[in-house]
Amino acid sequence: MEEGKPVGRRIVLGMLGLGALGTVFGRRLLDTEQAILAPVQLRDPTGLSGLVPAGAGFRFYSVTGGQPSRSAANYRLTVTGLVTRAATFTLADLAALPQTQLVRDFQCVTGWRVPKVPWTGVRLRDLLEHVGVLPTAQAVRFTSFDGEYTESLTLAQARRSDVLVATGMLGGAVTRAHGGPVRLYVAPMYGYKSLKWLGGIELTEAVTPGYWEDLGYDVDAWVGHSNGRSDEPTG
């Protein structure tokens, strides 16, 4: 299969013999993400995991089974909704905003954790300040240019100093596999909040549950006190 050619999630599940999503719903809640993703990784029907450098203990996750592609030159981030000035950012526009560095763990709700990951980028709060948030806005919705994955935060969560629109991780640019050129990094929350291939940010009146949250994961995904887990906090 051609590198990065997207494979529909249903096709992947079909190839794995998992059948319809009903099978997945039948499993215990905390097994859901693993049920979909672990077989994809282990049996690798797409051949994609071989193309992904196994960076520092991260596992490659993509609900579409593929890796969408945007060159640095073609990348655009749109910020819309309840803002004073809707805006489109290029990578150069993001680089012109104040840059922040963080070193924090990354923890997936299925249990794996990567310690002390260096992250760089623009604080989401700085980006929001740049476009101006209207008083009616209470939440932020994120969309991926993979066309499927979504996430959300309350406005208060989005304004934390440890939430980044990340352009760098592990000492380099965010790679395509890890959601480059730009992904979200929500330090104090489980990995599913850290949406990859960030394409759109929308200010909304209320939180819209994201992709995994529609499948039963907690909307407030604090590491250590959500999803019935008891991990050491990351944030």
Contacts of 203 (CB under 8 A, 6+ apart): 79, 80, 81, 82, 83, 128, 133, 134, 137, 139, 140, 141, 155
**Tokens read off for 154:** 């309350």
Question: Closer to ligand MTE at the Cβ: 62 or 100?
Answer: 62
Using CB under 5 A as the binding rule, whether residue 191 contacts Mo ion is answered as: yes
Q: How many residues bind ligand MTE (CB under 6 A)?
A: 19
Residues 6+ apart with CB under 8 A from 171: 118
Give the per-residue contact string, 22-41, with ligand MTE (x = CB under 6 A; - = no). -----------x--------
* Beta-strand pair 77-81/198-204: parallel
Residues 174-193 that bind ligand MTE (CB under 6 A): 178-179, 191-192
Q: For ligand MTE, which is the closer residue by CB, 141 or 196?
A: 196
If DSSP codes are grouped into helix, strand and coil, which group holds residue 225?
A: coil
Q: Is 223 in the site for Mo ion (CB under 5 A)?
A: no
CA–CA gap between residue 235 and residue 138 (Å, rounded)? 22
Judge contact between 198 and 77, C-beta under 8 A.
yes
d(CA 208, CA 210): 6
Question: Is 152 one of the binding residues for ligand MTE (CB under 6 A)?
Answer: no
The CA distance from 71 to 85, in Å, is 26
Contact set for ligand MTE, span 211-230 (CB under 6 A):
none
Q: How far apart are CA 60 and CA 211, in angstroms?
A: 17
- According to DSSP, residue 123 is labeled E
Residue number, nearest CB to ligand MTE: 191
Using the minimum distance from each CB to Mo ion, give the nearer residue, 24 or 155.
24
Task: Name which of 132 and 235 has its Cβ closer to ligand MTE.
Answer: 235
Out of 13, 63, 108, 122, name the contact with Mo ion by CB under 5 A: 108
Restricted to residues 104-123, the positions that interact with ligand MTE (CB under 6 A) are: 108
Q: Which of 59, 113, 160, 229 is the binder for ligand MTE (CB under 6 A)? A: 59
Shortest distance, CB of residue 136 to ligand MTE, whole angstroms? 28
Q: Note the residues at the interface with Mo ion (CB under 5 A).
A: 108, 191-192
Residues that bind ligand MTE (CB under 6 A): 33, 58-63, 108, 144, 146, 149, 178-179, 191-192, 194-197
